[in-house]
């Protein structure tokens, strides 16, 4: 269970990425039915720690708090700075005991320097991905994703992708309902689709069309119905080919993949909050049958609907 969270503050830490971890794990949201964590901010040498923007933060707690942490998080920092040997020790000990380890943006370089990413898939900000791959050839770097989870080590791409990674971990450990509470309080979507490619600079089109907000909102409201690309294209007043192409360009994924992910999220919530039969959950989420729903749960979440309900149900069995 995810209870004790330790955020390691490194010299020249990036304030935004530091704040992402604080916002997700450091705020008590029990008043809304959300989680509260035993949250610690630590550093190798307690005292003033310089940020990448030039101001200092005073961190009073040392690395001892990390000895029994369920999660150790490393935010972004200047990648050329050497890694403190005690930070290396703490990360290696955490990996050895099976704790979660999470990096945001360039924090992946600290994980790599500690040997944590050897033999693992990982990511970082697209601007640094090539260097991470070159400097640490034992790491399989995927520059096209928002975050990667590989054997309890999660690395995220730049800036806001750290939120996606943190919410993914909350969802994995505590369920969709807990992640949704945090997302609502932060006024962000509980899960974004797509990858980093949508954020890499590209020529700006002369004319930018309307967003897909209305269509995707309608899709979410009608998950229980069969939704074809032809039908969605008609609602968007486009041809099916144009709709599919622009949907992928705007949202970073296909309409079918986006729809499947929304149906999974709906099914997760239904499994957590009620005692509906699996066939009913599958129908309301739009999967049609429990067998189809089981297929998607196994493919995306690595579990079955029944096992998910046993783990995350909010009502007594």
Per residue in 305-317, pLDDT (tens digit) is: 998 888 777 665 5
Cα gap 245→316, rounded to integer Å? 45
- Higher-pLDDT residue of 156, 269: 156
- Tell me the torsion sign for CA atoms 28, 34, 38, 42: negative
pLDDT at 284 over 60: yes
Q: Strand locations in the chain, DSSP E?
A: 4-8, 38-42, 47-50, 56-59, 71-74, 100-103, 121-122, 140-141, 147-150, 153-156
pLDDT at 315: 63
Q: Give the lowest-confidence range in 23-27, 103-107, 177-181, 248-252.
A: 248-252
Tell me the CB-side half-sphere exposure of residue 194, using CA atoms within 13 A. 15
Cα gap 281→297, rounded to integer Å? 13
Q: Is the pTM of this model over 0.95?
A: no
**What mean pLDDT is reported for the chain?**
90
pLDDT at 107 over 80: yes
pLDDT per residue as tens digits for the range 121-158: 999 999 999 999 999 999 999 988 889 999 999 999 98
Cα gap 209→211, rounded to integer Å? 6
pLDDT per residue as tens digits for the range 249-264: 887 789 999 999 899 9
> What's the pLDDT band for 105 if we cut at 50, 70, 90?
very high
Q: Tell me what the mean pLDDT of segment 110-125 comes to.
A: 97
The 10 Å Cβ neighbour count of residue 127 is 14
pLDDT at 307: 87
The 10 Å Cβ neighbour count of residue 268 is 25
pLDDT at 199 over 70: no
Give me the phi and psi of 94, to 5 degrees please: -65, -45
């Amino acid at each position: 269970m995810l209870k004790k969270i330790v955020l390691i503050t490194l010299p020249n830490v990036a304030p935004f990425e530091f704040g992402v971890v604080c916002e997700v794990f450091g705020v008590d949201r029990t008043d809304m039915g959300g989680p509260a964590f035993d949250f610690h901010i630590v550093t190798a040498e307690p005292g003033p720690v310089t940020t990448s923007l030039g101001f200092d933060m005073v961190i009073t707690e040392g690395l001892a708090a990390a000895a029994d942490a369920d999660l150790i998080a490393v935010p972004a920092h200047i990648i050329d700075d050497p890694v403190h040997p005690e930070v290396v020790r703490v990360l290696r000990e955490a990996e050895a005991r099976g704790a979660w380890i999470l990096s945001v943006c360039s924090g992946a370089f600290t994980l790599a320097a500690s040997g944590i990413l050897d033999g693992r898939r990982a990511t970082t900000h697209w601007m640094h991905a090539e260097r991470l791959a070159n400097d640490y050839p034992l790491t399989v770097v995927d520059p096209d994703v928002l975050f990667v989870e590989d054997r309890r080590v999660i690395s995220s791409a730049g800036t806001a992708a750290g939120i996606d990674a943190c919410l993914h971990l909350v969802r994995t450990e505590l369920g969709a309902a807990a992640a949704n509470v945090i997302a609502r309080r932060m006024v962000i979507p509980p899960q974004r689709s797509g990858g980093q490619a949508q954020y890499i600079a590209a020529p700006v089109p002369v004319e930018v069309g309307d967003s897909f907000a209305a269509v995707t909102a309608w899709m979410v409201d009608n998950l229980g119905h069969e939704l074809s690309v032809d039908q969605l294209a008609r609602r968007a007043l486009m041809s099916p080919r144009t709709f599919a192409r622009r949907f992928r360009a705007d949202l970073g994924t296909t309409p079918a993949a986006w729809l499947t992910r929304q149906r999974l999220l709906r099914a997760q919530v239904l499994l957590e909050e009620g005692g509906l039969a699996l066939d009913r959950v599958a129908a309301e989420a739009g999967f049609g049958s429990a067998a189809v729903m089981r297929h998607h749960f196994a493919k995306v979440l690595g579990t079955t609907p029944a096992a998910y309900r046993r783990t995350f149900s909010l009502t007594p069995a």
